[in-house]
Chain A
Amino acid sequence: MFYYLNQTLRDFKNNKFLNTVTVVTICFSVLIISSLLLFVENANNIITSFKDEIRIITYLDKGISETKKDDVRRKIEKLGGVSDVVYISSNKALEILKTQMKNQTYLDDLKENLLPASFEIYLTKKSHNWEGIKKLALKIEKLSAVDEVEYGKSWLEKFSSLISLFRFVSIGMGSVFFMVSIFIIINTIRLSLYSRRKEIEIMRLVGAEDWFIKRPFYYEGVFQGTIGGIIGLMLLFIMFLTFNSNFEADFSSQGFIQINFLSLEVLLEILFCSVFAGWLGCYISVRQFLKK
């Protein structure tokens, strides 16, 4: 095991420039792909945390009767996708408003409570999509005794579709960089094979089978993929730490948003991909070379 690692390192040194170029390319690709992933994952997290708070607020007509109110509630509950309906009386609404605005004493001076009573309608997980919410809101709006419906946050909708687009783009870019890496590995290994063609010929003449000849090149490719992947992910982590410490000072301390690094699983997947790229690049060029 150590012998082969040693041998691979020696081959690496013999062809320092090419190998460095390859490792840097892989490293760069991994860095780009993984930072895109990091962005998409975090953006998704933020959206989901917002989505958890999605609800439709239904303001009721003023002075609505108790029976009418129960009737509306029943009708709403019958609509699909509703998980919970909470009644907020106008007094309760005022209380909530007061606690939200502790220091504004002018609320105490109000003679009359102008706030309408409302239902807060929570949705089932399944119906957390914009089309569904819109349709539901429209249906509720049509009920009698309903004054106004609010579900707002349309920016969230835009942001959400932007993220989908972004995810799509990053998958595309990821595949492009993956292929570029493989292409570069194919070429380094090919050059490496070419520069060692005499050695390969000699090995054959003393009775080496193909696998024996191939082996060091596979080590080379896999080594390049591994090292490139590890360095790329390490750079990502360093960038993440730098970014996060700045970001935290601005936002996170206020408890708004928290940015997470990629999970171990995703990290391993990325590393696996770069090792696989090394292997595949080698497989292609070795096959081509030994056919001759």
Chain B
Amino acid sequence: MDDKLVEDISKDSIVRVFHLYKRFGGKCALYDLSFDIKRNEFVYFIGPSGAGKSTLFELLYKKIDASEGQILVDGINYSRLSKKKVPFLRRKIGVVFQDFKLIPTKTVFENVALVLEVSGKKKSYIQKKVRSVLRIIGLESKKDSYPVGLSGGEQQRVAVARAVVGEPQIIFADEPTGSLDSESAETIMDLLKSFHIKGATVIVATHDSGLIEKTGGRIINLKDGRIIM
């Protein structure tokens, strides 16, 4: 694929995937995926568990590398990205991990603040910003608690807070409402929508097709590692 051509086509695309394969040993988890996500789109990847959603996300924030195919995010070709630049790529991306990935020895506040510390933001800014995100997400009173002291739903909200606090261009949310009751789920989805309105590209993976009815957005169906039209 000619790079110049890719640039031209993808002027308003933020995520481009071409013939992507991911194999674990002999097992093919993702099979020939190609898709295109425009700037400021709201996209759902829907599929049953084991369909490959988490694997796809891990490829998209470069936790793992593709077996074959190309990934371009915000014009950056992953196969040509040096290891040193990966942190800067990840700062453009906010991720809500399916297993939350909160640091157990840090408080809620510190977990969320980490994203801003990593990119060298001022302390006063970090204080203000983290507080405001925690307020929006309804966890201000728990800011000094440790993750173990929180319910699953609360932990998930911390994970969302951490994903959005850096005001990333792209937000990947892997089952962001997985352990929430429907009311909390709505809060989370409203929050993601508000970031979408502010201009972020939001990509959500879920096995719960009921989620889409309330929010709307483009749907990509995934099953057994393939896109189903």
**Is A bound to B?**
yes
**Residue ranges of A at the interface with B (Cβ–Cβ < 8 Å):** 14, 196, 198-199, 202-209, 212
- Taken together as a complex, chains A and B put the C-alpha atoms of A204 and B83 apart, in Å, by 11
The residues in B between 147 and 205 inclusive whose CB is less than 8 angstroms from any CB of A are: 162, 166
Chain A residues whose C-beta falls within 8 Å of the C-beta of B226 in the assembled complex? none
- Taken together as a complex, chains A and B put the C-alpha atoms of A204 and B89 apart, in Å, by 11
Query: Is B103 close to A, CB under 8 A?
Result: yes
A205 lies within 8 A of B63 (CB): yes
Query: Is B129 close to A, CB under 8 A?
Result: no
Q: Give B115 Cβ to nearest chain A Cβ, in Å.
A: 5
B114 lies within 8 A of A203 (CB): yes
Most chain-B Cβ atoms within 10 A of its Cβ — which of A199, A204, A207? A207
Q: Give A8 Cβ to nearest chain B Cβ, in Å.
A: 13
Contact of A207 among B101, B103, B105, B118 (CB under 8 A): B118
B63 lies within 8 A of A207 (CB): no
B105 lies within 8 A of A206 (CB): no
A209 lies within 8 A of B103 (CB): no
**With contacts defined as CB atoms under 8 Å apart, how many contacts are there between chain A and chain B in the complex?**
42
Q: Give B26 Cβ to nearest chain A Cβ, in Å.
A: 25
A199 lies within 8 A of B103 (CB): yes
A14 lies within 8 A of B90 (CB): no
Contact of A202 among B87, B101, B119 (CB under 8 A): B101
- Chain B residues touching A, range: 20 to 34
Query: Is B95 close to A, CB under 8 A?
Result: yes
Query: Is B109 close to A, CB under 8 A?
Result: no
Given A203-B114, A204-B90: 15 more A-B contacts, CB < 8 Å: A198-B103, A199-B105, A204-B87, A205-B63, A205-B90, A205-B95, A205-B97, A206-B115, A206-B162, A207-B88, A207-B90, A207-B118, A209-B84, A212-B117, A212-B118
Chain B residues whose C-beta falls within 8 Å of the C-beta of A14 in the assembled complex? 105
Query: Is B61 close to A, CB under 8 A?
Result: yes
B95 lies within 8 A of A207 (CB): no
- Taken together as a complex, chains A and B put the C-alpha atoms of A207 and B61 apart, in Å, by 10
Chain A residues whose C-beta falls within 8 Å of the C-beta of B102 in the assembled complex? 202
Q: Give A214 Cβ to nearest chain B Cβ, in Å.
A: 13
Contact of B91 among A198, A203, A207 (CB under 8 A): A207
Q: Give B163 Cβ to nearest chain A Cβ, in Å.
A: 9
Q: A14-B105, A208-B87, A209-B87 are in contact. Are A203 and B63 (CB under 8 A)?
A: no
B61 lies within 8 A of A205 (CB): yes
Q: Give B222 Cβ to nearest chain A Cβ, in Å.
A: 22
**Of all chain B residues, which has the CB nearest A11?**
B105
- Taken together as a complex, chains A and B put the C-alpha atoms of A290 and B225 apart, in Å, by 32
**Of all chain B residues, which has the CB nearest A209?**
B87
- Taken together as a complex, chains A and B put the C-alpha atoms of A168 and B97 apart, in Å, by 60
**Of all chain A residues, which has the CB nearest B120?**
A212
Q: Give A268 Cβ to nearest chain B Cβ, in Å.
A: 33
Q: Give B20 Cβ to nearest chain A Cβ, in Å.
A: 20
Chain B residues whose C-beta falls within 8 Å of the C-beta of A199 in the assembled complex? 103, 105
Contact of B115 among A196, A198, A207, A209 (CB under 8 A): A207
- Taken together as a complex, chains A and B put the C-alpha atoms of A196 and B106 apart, in Å, by 12
B114 lies within 8 A of A206 (CB): yes
Q: Give A86 Cβ to nearest chain B Cβ, in Å.
A: 75
Chain B residues whose C-beta falls within 8 Å of the C-beta of A212 in the assembled complex? 117-118
Q: Give A287 Cβ to nearest chain B Cβ, in Å.
A: 15
Chain A residues whose C-beta falls within 8 Å of the C-beta of B118 in the assembled complex? 203, 206-209, 212
List, sorted by A's number, 18 A–B pairs whose CB atoms are closer than 8 Å. Answer: A196-B105, A199-B105, A202-B102, A202-B103, A202-B114, A204-B87, A205-B90, A205-B97, A205-B101, A206-B90, A207-B87, A207-B88, A207-B89, A207-B91, A207-B119, A208-B87, A208-B114, A208-B118
Q: Give A121 Cβ to nearest chain B Cβ, in Å.
A: 73
- Taken together as a complex, chains A and B put the C-alpha atoms of A263 and B156 apart, in Å, by 59
Q: Give A173 Cβ to nearest chain B Cβ, in Å.
A: 39
Most chain-B Cβ atoms within 10 A of its Cβ — which of A14, A203, A204, A205? A205
- Taken together as a complex, chains A and B put the C-alpha atoms of A207 and B119 apart, in Å, by 7
Chain B residues whose C-beta falls within 8 Å of the C-beta of A203 in the assembled complex? 114, 118
The residues in B between 121 and 163 inclusive whose CB is less than 8 angstroms from any CB of A are: 162
Q: Give A236 Cβ to nearest chain B Cβ, in Å.
A: 36
Q: Give A176 Cβ to nearest chain B Cβ, in Å.
A: 36
The residues in B between 57 and 101 inclusive whose CB is less than 8 angstroms from any CB of A are: 61, 63, 84, 87-91, 95, 97, 101
- Taken together as a complex, chains A and B put the C-alpha atoms of A202 and B61 apart, in Å, by 12
- Taken together as a complex, chains A and B put the C-alpha atoms of A31 and B89 apart, in Å, by 49
**Of all chain B residues, which has the CB nearest A14?**
B105
- Taken together as a complex, chains A and B put the C-alpha atoms of A264 and B158 apart, in Å, by 52
Q: Give B213 Cβ to nearest chain A Cβ, in Å.
A: 31
Q: Give B110 Cβ to nearest chain A Cβ, in Å.
A: 10
